Amino acid sequence: MRIKWAILALVFSVITVLSGCEPLLVLDPKGPMAQTQADDIMLSIWIMLFIVLVVFALLVYMLVKYRASKQSIDYEPPYIKGSVLVEALCIGIPIIIVAFLSYVSVQSNYEVEARPKGYEDKKPLVIYASSSDWKWHFSYPEEGIETVNYLYIPTDRALEFKLYSYGPITSFWIPQLGGQKYAMSDMVTTLHLAADVPGEYMGRNANFSGKGFTENTFDVKAMPQSEFDDWVKEVKETAKPLTENKFDELLEPGHLGRSTYTGTHLEFSPPPSSENGGHDHGSKDTKEHSKEVKEHSEHNH
């Protein structure tokens, strides 16, 4: 009786706790990249759940069918040879599952590493996202503005983030828009995202980078293109210019609130000149992105 009440109490506690939990951000996608990854996660969960249910069903069947019986003391079970069919199933099914999940993962990886579907013919918004201890700096070279610890983006437009770091390796991650990607001091990595739904999202550094790691976060706000253009116009009219001395102050270790500037640090502190750790590997973006930064800076002047 006590065991029964203990089990009921445990079930009730689990249900109560889970009912108060918010949905996992990675399973609440607001963009095409995040949707692809959420679909892969759910597919893996359903496959694993099916495997677990089958295994437990077979376990119960075996326990019932081959449970101990009242045999004589001198009883000897009959000799049975191994079953080729059983062995083939035990080996073949895991191979098929792993091969299927590998195929799905590779296909998804190609999707999330390319420009989002439906945006191939549209010019992306290029944003240089750099990290320092323990802040995020977002440079908009085309708009000629820069923000610290917050990010405004337009919806229904491809986003091309150029990631690098002024300190240790960090990882740029907006769970509801897509997966994480490393930002390093000696190279530029490119992350393609897009937001389908206006709203406010959480962004953070997903890689441990010292004592200030837990607060190394940033706010993301997605809005229609018209509102984004109005915001850019307002920043240019009201924000102070970003000077080299001010940027050096921002790079000092510590936490800061949100701040906004006209101009970008790309003019006097450009990103690493190459992607992939200084090796081009045939990347067109690698050969041109330094030139683009310079052209954007000259255009905004």
Q: How many domains are contained in the chain?
A: 2
- Give me the mean pLDDT over the 104-131 stretch: 89
Are 109 and 129 part of one and the same domain? no
Asked if residue 193 and residue 280 are part of one domain, the reply reads yes
> Where is average pLDDT lowest: 26-35, 173-182, 187-196?
26-35
Mean per-residue pLDDT, 22-42: 86
Tell me, yes or no, whether 177 lies in a domain.
yes
Do 129 and 266 share a structural domain? yes
- Pick from 201, 204, 205: which is nearest to 223 by CA? 201
Lowest mean per-residue pLDDT among 68-72, 93-97, 253-257, 288-292: 288-292
Residues 160 and 238 in one domain: yes
Burial of 198 (0-12, 13-18, 19+ CB in 10 A): middle
Q: Is the pLDDT of residue 294 over 60?
A: no
Which band of pLDDT confidence, cut at 50, 70 and 90, is reported for residue 274?
Answer: low
Pair (195, 154) in one structural domain: yes
Counting residues of the chain whose pLDDT is more than 90, the rounded percentage is 58
Q: CA-CA distances (angstroms) from residue 271 to 131, 168, 169, 183, 204?
A: 11, 15, 15, 11, 21
| Of 297 and 206, the one with more pLDDT | 206
pLDDT at 70: 73
Residue 129 zone, left/alpha/beta (φ > 0; ψ -120 to 50; rest):
beta
Look at residue 66 and tell me if it is in a domain. no
Lowest-confidence segment of 216-225, 237-246, 266-275 by average pLDDT: 266-275
Query: What is the pLDDT averaged over residues 62-82?
Result: 79
Instruction: Give the model's pLDDT for residue 79.
Output: 78
Answer yes or no: is 270 within a domain: yes
pLDDT digits (tens, 9 = 90+) for 226-242: 999 999 999 999 999 99
Residue 21 lies in a domain: no
Rounded average pLDDT over 288-297: 50
Q: pLDDT category, 276, cuts 50, 70, 90?
A: low
Q: Give Rg (Cα) of the chain.
A: 27
Residue 1 belongs to a domain? no
Residue 16: what pLDDT?
A: 54
Tokens representing 91 are 């080996």
pLDDT category of residue 5 using cuts at 50, 70 and 90 = low
Q: What is the pLDDT of residue 36?
A: 92
The residue segments making up the domain with residue 170 are 125-300
In this prediction, residue 73 carries a pLDDT of 78
77 in any annotated domain? no
Q: Confidence class of residue 164 from pLDDT cuts 50, 70 and 90?
A: very high
